[in-house]
Chains A and B, each alone.
Chain A
Amino acid sequence: MKNVSATVGLILNEPLLWEKGQKGRRGMDVPAADVPPAGIDAGLIGEGPDFPDLSEVDVIRHYTRLSQWNFGVDTGMYPLGSCTMKYNPKINDTVAATPEIAASHPMLPDALCQGTLKIMYELQDYLAAVTGLDAVSLQPAAGAHGELTGMLIFAAYHKSRGFRRTKILIPDTAHGTNPASAALCGLQPVPVPSGPDGMLDPEAVARLMDEQTAGIMVTNPNTLGLFEENIIRIAGIVHDAGGLVYGDGANMNAVMGVADLKRCGVDIVHLNLHKTFSTPHGGGGPGAGPVCVVEALRKFLPVPRVVRDKRGYRLDGNCPDSVGRIHAFHGNFGILVRAYSYIRCMGAENLHRASQLAVLNANYIKEKLKGELHLPYDRPCMHECVFSDLWQHAYKVSTLDMAKRLMDFGYHPPTIYFPLVVGGAIMIEPTETESKADIDRFIEAFCEIVREAKEEPEILHGAPHLCKVKRLDETAAARHPCLTGC
């Protein structure tokens, strides 16, 4: 077993919070009262929550040990397809922690918070520049929240024209969030099968597009990592039938400085700032999913919006056609600040360069691994490439086995079993921040695993061998859910 970078370190066990501690300890001092105690109706008072009492040291050690059981981008390569796990620059966190920004209250009068409003106003401009669209809302808190906002705009747009459309076209390669977001807006998803080349066929779209269909949701590049080469024709077909084109911008990292989404025919797109614009994923969030639209749809964007006039920046809530408010305040502002910081550090040229290198890295992996793993769509890819476990079936080795084995080599596994159109899919997105040397090591590791699959499959079946825990029983977890401790 060469090339295994994981080793046995000193990983310490740690009980659950309530299995430690001692009543009367404290991990945070509460200031002494400087006001007299006030009376309170006994009927209002509860018993107080049954929380453990821990010291500051207890808390620090607990969470430090937990953190050591985790793997992040800062630990190593994290080629999770469709998630763009690029390096998260530290300066972004420093900027977001600026006291004036981090402590700003969201309901201050505009005159008192010109700095935060300016950041929002400028970021809107930057995102418009990156996509080629005209107007932006920063409120959506995540990609799926942006999709929901987009579908609300679809509904509002058709309603404003006096129609109620009830269906929406969604390719079979789409993320599950696409149909789920559409369904929330009363739109019935109609699946569009992708063609034999992995791309949408304009004829298939033409057959399904009708007067009851609100439009189409397209991820471009799609989840196979392929640029939808017929996007302009498809957009034309949808527009001719009175529909709109929604772009899922999850994969924007492939085409910054290359594609102009307006010229592609896209009317609305959401961006995942935690993917393309380097904000940390935080173990599942918070992210941000701003929505960009063409001029004609500007009036439907959520309120309030940041505008600029002679007196400076202000929030404008007076937009009668708006779909309404989508977040309690201004979206995940702390994430917006990080993306702002990233764009200011990168500039147009480096963002373009980032896309070029992301695509170079993915194509390089595709070329190097296609002799080892089955590549269902052998054509130039964008920022990610999708393999399958077809060739390993003979050895009773699955995608899951190979993914788990990658952990022993010190890599986070790629996205697996997605997109659904590829059986046993292995979706690799290296991103631009991985160097050639790191990618070469990853490729070598994968080749070694493919060899093991053939010669020593039992190693893979038992993988991972070097993590804190072995494979976990997900069936038992789902059959008898234990969702809270006691």
Chain B
Amino acid sequence: MKEINELNLPDGLRYTRDHEWVKIMGDAAIVGISDYAQDQLGDIVYVEMPEVGDEFKQGEEFGTLESVKAVSETYLPLTGEIIEINEALADAPELVNKDPYENWIVRIRPADLSELDSLLTVDEYLDLLNG
């Protein structure tokens, strides 16, 4: 497993305490899991997705990630509607291990951008990991 200083944690994203990230792109946003989360899970073998059109509140479970011997729920960082899922992950879940930022999980239309304020900056997220 990686040491904390070996983790790739890009600036400009917002992170959750459950190790998801969100990136605002116009009136949409993409959501994925952090390098820390993919490293902890190990080889990801399956990504369970919601359906396009599903709506979730901030912090609600929208899917799961599975490794061989563990299951981890994924929680939506912002209230919103799912407008796209990353189809590539169905056949190649290992992409999340390869680059967890390039390979987002869902694209959403956020309902309330002010919720961003409750999410962590990269420095705050690092503090969390350093515990």
The chain A residues found within 8 Å of chain B, CB to CB, are 417, 474-475, 478-479
CA separation between A45 and B94, bound complex, in Å?
45
Shortest CB-to-CB span from B47 to chain A, Å, is: 11
Chain B residues whose C-beta falls within 8 Å of the C-beta of A479 in the assembled complex: 43, 45-46, 93-94
Within 8 A of A (CB), among B27-62: 43, 45-46
Q: Which 10 pairs between the two chains have the least Cβ-Cβ distance?
A: A478-B45, A475-B43, A479-B45, A474-B68, A478-B68, A475-B68, A475-B45, A479-B93, A479-B94, A478-B46
Interface of B is mostly: mixed
Q: Smallest CB-CB separation from B69: which chain A residue?
A: A417
CA separation between A474 and B67, bound complex, in Å?
10
Chain B residues whose C-beta falls within 8 Å of the C-beta of A478 in the assembled complex: 45-46, 66, 68
Given A475-B43, A475-B67, A479-B94, 12 other A-B contacts at CB below 8 A? A417-B69, A474-B68, A475-B45, A475-B68, A478-B45, A478-B46, A478-B66, A478-B68, A479-B43, A479-B45, A479-B46, A479-B93
Ordered by A's residue number, 6 sampled pairs between the chains whose C-beta atoms are within 8 Å are: A417-B69, A475-B43, A475-B67, A475-B68, A478-B66, A478-B68
CA separation between A479 and B45, bound complex, in Å?
5
Q: Smallest CB-CB separation from B66: which chain A residue?
A: A478
Chain A residues whose C-beta falls within 8 Å of the C-beta of B45 in the assembled complex: 475, 478-479
CA separation between A479 and B96, bound complex, in Å?
13
CA separation between A397 and B45, bound complex, in Å?
24
Within 8 A of A (CB), among B59-108: 66-69, 93-94
Q: Find the residue from B45, B46, B66 having the highest chain A CB count within 10 A.
A: B45
Q: Smallest CB-CB separation from A474: which chain B residue?
A: B68
Chain B residues whose C-beta falls within 8 Å of the C-beta of A417 in the assembled complex: 69
CA separation between A475 and B46, bound complex, in Å?
10
Shortest CB-to-CB span from A484 to chain B, Å, is: 19
CA separation between A478 and B69, bound complex, in Å?
10
CA separation between A475 and B45, bound complex, in Å?
7
CA separation between A402 and B103, bound complex, in Å?
36
CA separation between A84 and B108, bound complex, in Å?
51
CA separation between A475 and B93, bound complex, in Å?
11
CA separation between A474 and B46, bound complex, in Å?
13
Shortest CB-to-CB span from A309 to chain B, Å, is: 52
Q: Smallest CB-CB separation from B43: which chain A residue?
A: A475
CA separation between A475 and B44, bound complex, in Å?
8
Chain A residues whose C-beta falls within 8 Å of the C-beta of B46 in the assembled complex: 478-479
Shortest CB-to-CB span from A399 to chain B, Å, is: 13
CA separation between A458 and B64, bound complex, in Å?
35
CA separation between A478 and B93, bound complex, in Å?
11
CA separation between A474 and B70, bound complex, in Å?
13
CA separation between A479 and B93, bound complex, in Å?
8
CA separation between A104 and B62, bound complex, in Å?
53
Shortest CB-to-CB span from B1 to chain A, Å, is: 11
CA separation between A417 and B69, bound complex, in Å?
10
Q: Smallest CB-CB separation from B94: which chain A residue?
A: A479
CA separation between A474 and B45, bound complex, in Å?
10
Chain B residues whose C-beta falls within 8 Å of the C-beta of A474 in the assembled complex: 68
Chain A residues whose C-beta falls within 8 Å of the C-beta of B66 in the assembled complex: 478
CA separation between A107 and B93, bound complex, in Å?
51
Chain A residues whose C-beta falls within 8 Å of the C-beta of B94 in the assembled complex: 479
Chain A residues whose C-beta falls within 8 Å of the C-beta of B67 in the assembled complex: 475
Shortest CB-to-CB span from A419 to chain B, Å, is: 15
Q: Smallest CB-CB separation from A417: which chain B residue?
A: B69
CA separation between A474 and B69, bound complex, in Å?
10
Shortest CB-to-CB span from A135 to chain B, Å, is: 39
Q: Find the residue from A417, A474, A478 having the highest chain B CB count within 10 A.
A: A478
Q: Smallest CB-CB separation from B93: which chain A residue?
A: A479
Q: Smallest CB-CB separation from B91: which chain A residue?
A: A480
Shortest CB-to-CB span from B66 to chain A, Å, is: 8
CA separation between A417 and B42, bound complex, in Å?
16
Chain A residues whose C-beta falls within 8 Å of the C-beta of B68 in the assembled complex: 474-475, 478
CA separation between A478 and B45, bound complex, in Å?
6
Chain A residues whose C-beta falls within 8 Å of the C-beta of B93 in the assembled complex: 479
Shortest CB-to-CB span from A188 to chain B, Å, is: 16
CA separation between A417 and B67, bound complex, in Å?
15
Shortest CB-to-CB span from B73 to chain A, Å, is: 16
CA separation between A268 and B105, bound complex, in Å?
46
CA separation between A78 and B120, bound complex, in Å?
50
Chain A residues whose C-beta falls within 8 Å of the C-beta of B69 in the assembled complex: 417
Q: Smallest CB-CB separation from B45: which chain A residue?
A: A478
Shortest CB-to-CB span from A483 to chain B, Å, is: 14
Q: Smallest CB-CB separation from A479: which chain B residue?
A: B45
Chain B residues whose C-beta falls within 8 Å of the C-beta of A475 in the assembled complex: 43, 45, 67-68
CA separation between A479 and B67, bound complex, in Å?
9
Shortest CB-to-CB span from B131 to chain A, Å, is: 17
Shortest CB-to-CB span from A10 to chain B, Å, is: 33
Shortest CB-to-CB span from B75 to chain A, Å, is: 20
Q: Smallest CB-CB separation from B92: which chain A residue?
A: A479
Shortest CB-to-CB span from A271 to chain B, Å, is: 29
